[in-house]
Amino acid sequence: MKLNTLKPAAGSKSDRHRVGRGVGSGWGKTAGRGHKGQRARSGGFHKVGFEGGQMPLHRRLPKRGFHSPTREDIAEVRTSELQSMQASDIDLAALQAAGVVPRKALAAKVILSGKLERKIALKEIQVSKGARTMIEAAGGSIQLSEKPKVERKVKQKKAKKPEQAEAAEQKDAAKS
What pLDDT, in 10s, does the model give residues 59-107? 999 999 998 898 889 999 999 999 999 889 999 999 999 999 999 999 9
152 pLDDT more than 90: no
138 pLDDT more than 80: yes
Q: What DSSP assignment string belongs to 12-62?
A: S--PPP--SS-GGGSS-TTTTS-SSSGGGSTT--PPTT-BTTBPPHHHHSP
CA distances from 53 to 37, 45, 49 (A): 16, 13, 10
Are the C-beta atoms of 102 and 75 separated by less than 8 Å?
yes
